[in-house]
């Protein structure tokens, strides 16, 4: 079962020759979720050999251009390639008007259903759910209404041991109860304790995305114990005042949130174009939260289990 | 005096891993004009080491996304970099609403004046002019209202020979008349024939841009004798019917326009993503118009004089 996060863009407001504006791709067990969509995201997806049509859900954190100017180009390409499946967009309500106007002036009637879900910027909310997964949006603190997103597997049920199922006749209706933790009593009144007939489920894994935001402790409750956290780190701590004025975070602040939220690993990104080398941003964060990595375009982070994350550079 | 055309994007509607959507940069004597602005144009300008703030005039042929989706990103970057100079946009009137809405939803109040010039899609019109140059828009034949653009130096005046000026006392007010072709008569009634006291001026150079359009002979009058013509060639002639249905041209049709317009050189571009190799498109065009080159991202064409064009690959 795969759970990966691929960085498609790691720059802040203006792209640099090495870094595209914000976007990343979340693969939860081969369901693909695009998070933010700065200009050039469709080219980045092609560069990293990803089939565009696999994306079904796109989440936009807020309406600064570096987080959504690539969306209309991606939608157009999906249209021109003859998509027929639904595409779901989760974003601030104002984005719908922008997309509709661009389609109108270009004379485009989409060949697939585009389904728009306005996000709630005031409180956390489950915005996507299937049998195995959910996505929750939650408020960040930025100049425009902005949300973060938590991508999570649902809590898994206990696994019934095969040797027990083979040796004891268990009515079908009892199975879900045992998986949920109940003991089992057979027709003779013999009690089988749950812990002796089941094994622990795999832990559910999660990834939290926080960009753009000033240092904002209310996120901690939602992202608590996430396996992997992406948190913006636009500036170094020496520019903490600039960060506060612009409603952005420093590398030290991102690390402090990671530490307080007790996540396993942290990725910092959304770097100001002023930083040619990112080493100092990384050092600053690691001094507070050692398990920190840099978001660099093309990096893939695999969440293997609760405690193990592997990083590949494409 | 420099006159160059740099290809920033040569793909048609969907970008490929090698080709960005349409954009090119015209440098007429160090005045910079951007023509069309598909997604990723600002990144292409950076890639080819061009200083973004040098651009003062942007011309958009029509409102299909592959010709303008990169404009708002470029405008935003110019804003974030603190531009103060005017930026002029020449495009279909509907574009203004799209730009205004995107600036509004992103909470952006531009720090520089953005001056919008709606184009006339019904007849040729001079839309820009300074002492040495002019730009003329002219109708193309596409699904949406679309214009081509002719970038030209103004006709230059004759050059008065230095030996004549040194030997004869010429009143200042006579100079423009001689430059315009008049003979000169001195106080003693002696007649100096114009051709004996002046030399021919350098020819004025011009570049014509025709994308997107079906085969459309009315353009010939405007682009007649251009030094360099960019003409779209989305398809091979075997797909002439598809081209006609989609209001695009084939390589053979582009070459035929170049031949009939008696231009010196032709660049074909706006290739369908179906063509991995462009060799056959080039051969098809060259069979009709031998002086044809391919538009490839990063190529620069220098118009040296009326008869000489040099191509550099970056």
Considering only the beta carbons, identify the residue of A72, A92, A144 that sits closest to B69: A72
Which pLDDT band, with edges at 50, 70 and 90, does A306 fall under? low
- Find chain A residues with C-beta within 8 A of B143's C-beta: 107
- Could you give the percent of chain A with pLDDT greater than 90? 85
- φ, ψ of residue A128 in degrees (nearest 5): -145, 145
Q: How far is B92 from chain A (nearest CA, A)?
A: 10
Which of B16, B69, B101 has its CB closest to that of A73? B69
Same domain, B291 and B187: no
pLDDT of residue A314: 60
- Chain A CB within 8 Å of residue B70 CB: yes
B98–A102 C-beta distance less than 8 A:
yes
Return the H-helix or E-strand segment holding A228: strand A228-232
Examine the fold and report which residue of B178, B198, B218 is the final residue of a domain before the chain moves on.
B198
Helix (H, G, I), strand (E, B) or coil at A139: strand
Same domain, B216 and B228: yes
Do residues B42 and B187 both lie within one domain? no
Instruction: Judge if A141 and A250 occupy the same domain.
Output: yes
Backbone phi and psi for residue A240, each to the nearest 5 degrees, phi listed first: -60, -35
Nearest to A106 among B65, B73, B97 (CB): B65
From first CA to last CA, the distance across chain A in angstroms is: 21
CB proximity B53 to A under 8 Å: no
A window 208-267, beta carbon within 8 A of B: none
Same domain, B61 and B166: no
Interface test with A, best of B77, B79, B81, B96 (most A CBs within 10 A): B77
- Shared domain for B143 and B124, answered yes or no, is yes
DSSP at A168: S
User: Taking CB atoms and an 8 Å cut-off, how many pairs form between chains A and B?
Assistant: 102
Q: Are residues B145 and B262 both part of a single domain?
A: yes
Pairwise CB contact (< 8 Å): B144 & A107: yes
pLDDT by residue (tens digit) across A53-101? Answer: 999 999 999 999 999 999 999 999 999 999 999 999 999 999 999 999 9
Which of B11, B39, B95 to probe the A interface (max A CBs under 10 A)?
A: B39
Our measurement of the distance from residue A67's CA atom to the centroid of its chain's CA atoms, rounded to an integer in Å, reads 14
Distance from CA of A135 to the nearest CA of B (A): 25
Q: In what order do the strands lie in the sheet with B228-232?
A: B125-129, B133-139, B147-153, B206-210, B228-232, B265-269, B292-294
Task: Over range A265-270, report the average pLDDT.
Answer: 96
Q: What is the CATH number of the domain that holds B38?
A: 3.60.15.10
Q: Are residues A69 and A182 in the same domain?
A: no
Mean pLDDT over A277-304 rounds to: 95
For the stretch A180-224, pLDDT in tens is: 899 999 989 999 999 999 988 878 899 999 999 999 999 999 999
| B270 and B285, same domain (yes or no) | yes
Query: What pTM does this model have?
Result: 0.89
* Residue B191 forms contact with A (CB below 8 Å): no
- What does the pLDDT read at residue B313? 66
Report whether B192 contacts B183 (CB < 8 A): yes
Pick out chain B residues at pLDDT < 70. Answer: 306-307, 313-314
Query: What's the rounded mean pLDDT across residues A5-19?
Result: 88
pLDDT score, position A17: 79
pLDDT at B153: 94
Is the Cβ of A52 closer than 8 Å to some Cβ of chain B? Answer: no
Residue partners of A59: CB distance under 8 A and separation at least 6: A33, A34, A35, A36, A90, A91, A127, A135, A137, A149, A209
B305 CB within 8 Å of a chain A CB:
no
Among candidate residues B176, B198, B220, the one where a domain is terminated: B198
Of B36, B66, B212, B297, which is the active-site residue? Answer: B66
Give residue B185's pLDDT. 93
Using DSSP's 3-state secondary structure scheme, residue A274 falls into coil
Of the candidates A63, A76, A107, the beta carbon closest to that of B106 is on: A63
Residue A105 shares a structural domain with residue A213: yes
Please check whether residues A79 and A194 belong to one and the same domain.
Answer: no
Inter-chain touch A16–B108, beta carbons under 8 Å = no
Chain B positions touching A66 (Cβ under 8 A) are 76
Looking up tokens 């592959």 gives B66
Q: Is B73 on the interface with A (CB under 8 A)?
A: yes
- Give yes or no for a contact between A105 and B63, defined as CB atoms under 8 angstroms apart: yes
For B79, nearest residue in chain A (alpha carbons):
A14
Of B55, B234, B77, B225, which is closest to residue B143 (Cα–Cα)?
Answer: B234
pLDDT exceeds cutoff 80 at A124: yes
Number of domains in chain A: 2
ipTM value for the complex: 0.88
Active site residue B66: yes
Does A106 contact B63 at a Cβ distance shorter than 8 Å? yes
Yes or no: say if B182 and B149 are a contact pair by the CB < 8 Å rule. no
CA distances to A168, B5, B55, B81, B300 from B24, in Å:
75, 7, 12, 22, 10
At residue A307, does pLDDT exceed 70? Answer: no
| Average per-residue pLDDT for chain A | 94
Instruction: Give residue A312's pLDDT.
Output: 73
β-strands B159-160, A147-153 pairing: unpaired
Whether B95 has its CB under 8 Å from any CB of chain A: the answer is yes
Q: Is A51 on the interface with B (CB under 8 A)?
A: no
Residues of A in contact with B63 (CB under 8 A): 105-107
Confidence at residue A177, expressed as pLDDT on a 0 to 100 scale: 92
Residue numbers of B between 21 and 40 with CB closer than 8 Å to A: 39-40
- The pLDDT value given to residue A313: 66
Find the distance separating the first CA and the last CA of chain B, reported in whole Å: 21
Indicate if A168 and A36 belong to the same structural domain. Answer: no
Residue A203: predicted pLDDT: 81
Nearest 5°: CA angle at B183, between B180 and B188? 140
Under DSSP, is residue A130 helix (H, G, I), strand (E, B) or coil?
coil
- Closest approach of A257 to chain B, Cα-based (Å): 27
Q: How far is CA B309 from CA A17, A71, A279, B3, B30, in A?
A: 30, 39, 46, 10, 17
More confident residue, A310 or A82: A82
Q: Domain limits at B263?
A: 3-156+202-313
């Amino acid at each position: 079962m795969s759970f990966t996060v691929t960085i498609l863009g790691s720059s802040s407001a203006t792209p640099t020759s090495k870094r595209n504006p914000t976007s990343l791709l979340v693969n939860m067990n081969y369901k693909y979720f695009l998070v933010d969509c700065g200009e050039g995201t469709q080219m980045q997806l092609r560069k990293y050999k990803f089939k565009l049509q696999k994306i079904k859900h796109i989440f936009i954190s807020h309406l600064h251009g570096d987080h959504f100017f690539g969306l209309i180009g991606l939608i157009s390409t999906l249209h021109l390639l003859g998509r027929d499946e639904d595409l779901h967009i989760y974003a601030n309500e104002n984005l719908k008007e922008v997309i509709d106007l661009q389609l109108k002036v270009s004379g485009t009637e989409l060949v697939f259903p585009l389904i728009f879900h306005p996000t709630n910027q005031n409180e956390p909310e489950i915005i996507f759910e299937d049998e195995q997964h959910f996505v929750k949006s939650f408020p960040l603190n930025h100049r425009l209404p902005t949300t973060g997103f938590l991508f999570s597997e649902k809590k898994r049920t206990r696994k019934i041991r095969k040797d027990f199922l083979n040796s004891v006749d268990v009515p079908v209706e009892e199975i879900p109860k045992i998986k949920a933790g109940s003991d089992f009593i057979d027709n003779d009144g013999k009690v089988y304790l749950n812990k002796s007939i089941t094994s622990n489920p795999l832990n559910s894994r999660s990834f939290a995305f926080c960009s753009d935001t000033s240092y904002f402790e209310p996120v901690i409750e939602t992202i608590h114990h996430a396996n992997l956290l992406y948190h913006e780190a636009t500036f170094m701590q020496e520019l903490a005042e600039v960060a506060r004025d612009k409603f952005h975070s420093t590398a030290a602040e991102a690390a402090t949130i990671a530490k307080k939220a007790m996540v396993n690993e942290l990725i910092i990104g959304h770097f100001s174009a002023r930083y040619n080398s990112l080493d100092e941003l990384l050092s600053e964060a690691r001094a507070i939260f050692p398990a920190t990595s840099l978001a660099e375009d093309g990096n893939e982070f695999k969440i293997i289990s609760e405690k193990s994350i592997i990083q590949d550079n494409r």
